[in-house]
Amino acid sequence: MRNHRLPAPILPGSAIGVLGSGQLGRMFAMAARRMGYRVHTFSPDQDTPTGQVADVEITAAYEDLDAVRQFGRSVSAVTFEFENVPAATVAAAAEFAPVRPGGDVLHITQHRLREKTFLQAAGLPVTPFRRVASLVELRSAVDELSLPAVLKTAGFGYDGKGQFTIRQMEQLEEAWSAVGEAEAVLEAFIDFECELSVVTARSGSGDFLHYGVVENSHSHHILDITVAPANVSREVFRDAIEISRTVLEKLDVVGVLCVEFFLKKNGTLLVNELAPRPHNSGHFTFDANLTSQFEQQLRAVCGLPLGSVEQLAPAAMANLLGDLWTNGEPNWLSAAAMPNVKLHLYGKSEPRPGRKMGHLTALADSADRARQDVEIARLGLGARAHAVSR
């Protein structure tokens, strides 16, 4: 029976607004346009990964609240593709259209300290941490947590930006300056077994779905490879899903949210980070699942029923960073020659080192095989091909 307290669903043909304009917005826009929605994207940039696919690309500062209101007026709902959008921007858009997930979710997850405090209050396991607002406080926090430890900016950090791993007492000043001498979080360094994540979705009526537990390898603090499913025990799987479910319920999320974990050597989990949107570790769902994380975001934001998360085959995803372009254009034919590998490029023209330019997904009959194939495919991109050299 229909729950009459729920707002009416937003149907195909409507326009959906996306704050931000990167690859997550691009893949969201692809999913939305496939289902007949229109997409407006808002960011300070031009010819963006999302803008290239959207119906309308608005280029304005997030602080330009008149432009944000205009954007809010032109769409039926607003979502975001990165969480570092100022709260005032979200509030201005929300005057005209529902923002999903809501501004509270953004407020908590865009600030490490608020996020960790929320997780702790919810009784969920987090990496031991201390708030640090001065070099003196950093010194006493290091005394309490001991070294090594990781110093992270409290706000607006992602992909390891604004992070410094402190190994010796002599590095305290360097670390403090690396985080901009601003409010920060010192975390105990976790000698983890592996890193895991769970991409989840929750509808306005409280339905919860997840894409299972996946294993992530990072390189220089940036996600490198995701393998789905992760090879974990039943207990770890159950704990990861239950923690994720609790996060979504306590935050009352309507949309997609990813929970990133450290799995300790003793088999227990710690929550590292939350991302209230589709996540790099869920990119494989675009090719491997009946409903991708991007379509699921659309469905949740529009008040449609969530789609099946069934995974059609084990999968692995490898990121393509700008470094791959060091010796010229990668050898795309090599990836195209592997029939079980899908190439995704984000339409970015400047391949800077460390910049996410695209990814590959391999599907195979086992997760190990998928991982091997995606690594072979990526290696092939770097190999110069005689056949295609012009």
Q: Site residues (CB under 6 A) for ligand AMP?
A: 127, 150, 152, 160, 187, 189-190, 195, 218, 221, 260, 272-273
State which residue, 38 or 112, has the beta carbon closest to ligand AMP.
112
- In the complex with ligand AMP, the residue whose CB is nearer, 41 or 272, is 272
CA distance 298 to 293: 9
Closer to ligand AMP by CB, 106 or 149: give it.
149
Shortest Å, Cβ 26 to ligand AMP = 22
Q: Least distance (Å) from ligand AMP to the CB of residue 188?
A: 6
Question: Does residue 89 contact residue 19 with C-beta atoms inside 8 Å?
Answer: yes
Residue 377 contacts residue 327 (beta carbons within 8 Å): no
Three-class SS state of 149: strand
Tokens representing 17?
Answer: 């607004």
Shortest separation between residue 325's beta carbon and ligand AMP, angstroms = 23
Closest to ligand AMP by CB, 100 vs 152, is 152
SS3 state at 137: helix
The first and second tokens of residue 132, run together, are: 């640090």
Q: How far is the CB of 195 from ligand AMP (least distance, A)?
A: 5
Q: Is 180 left (phi over 0), alpha (psi -120 to 50) or beta?
A: left
Please, what is the minimum distance in Å from the beta carbon of residue 197 to ligand AMP?
9
Say how far apart CA 274 and CA 283 lie, in whole Å.
16
Alpha carbon separation from 60 to 21, 82, 295 (Å, rounded): 12, 16, 26
Closest CA to 340 of 319, 303, 312: 312
Give buried/exposed letters for 101-137 (b at 16+ CB in 10 A, else e): bbbebbebbbbbbebbebbeeeebebbebbebeeeeb
Cβ closer to ligand AMP: 92 or 274? 274
Residue placing its CB nearer to ligand AMP in the complex, 73 or 221? 221
Our CB check for ligand AMP shows the closer of 273 and 287 to be 273
Q: If you search the block for the tokens 């808002």, which residue do you land on?
A: 42
Nearest distance from C-beta of residue 237 to ligand AMP, angstroms: 20
Task: Map residue 154 onto helix, strand or coil.
Answer: coil
